[in-house]
A and B are shown apart, each in its own frame.
Chain A
Amino acid sequence: MAAAPKFAKTHEWIRLDDDGLATVGISAYAVEALTDLVFMQLPDLGRAVQAGESIGEIESVKAVSDFYAPVSGEVVEVNAALPGNLETLGQDPYGAGWLVRLRPTAPADLASLLDQAAYDALVKSQPH
């Protein structure tokens, strides 16, 4: 069974799967804050990314936002169906709304990210 997701402070989630790859998406909180998504750009396959590096952009009616690699690794899969079905992000951000799959350079780096409780606390502390 896949591990529980961990979270970056920049609102991406990442889950280490049984095959050793990591699936990355955007938290429900972040998707809800963006509202009315209109366009998304995903990274190229095979791209080597560093933790914290921008790996794509998403545009809502009012805002263009980057999303970032929670850990370093290689992009081995992208959710190519997502840009044409952006509503999926809002409907199922932790499932069908995944963004990319990475082959982590150092899977142990996931341990330094936030667990669900710590991320929930971060979200609660966000200014409103």
Chain B
Amino acid sequence: MKPDPDDYLPLAPATLHILLSLAVEPMHGYGIMQEVLRQSDGRYNLGPGTLYDNLQRLMKQRLVEEVAGPAAEANSRRRYYRLSQLGRGVLSREIARLEDVVHEGRARLRALKPRRA
């Protein structure tokens, strides 16, 4: 049976950042850590243990898959990862969910603003 992306929601912050990092192109682990740091303006600093623990789980869930790296790095210790079709679907649904949360949050905050008499 085809897995339903909604079954994976909501995503943990580390998972969300990792999937976002891989949304554009395949990356190696160190590249993912740098990309997460950039995305979060330096606030979210993933360590290798946390990263590979998440990648291990994401690969088991088939949200991320390993791909061959560039030929220039054939003998490197690096491995490259990319989003699978399912991973892309999950990321899209999570972004839509977060948009709904933001929309709802803004509407509520507007309602709380004091109005002039």
The finding on whether chains A and B are genuine partners in a shared complex, rather than unrelated, reads no
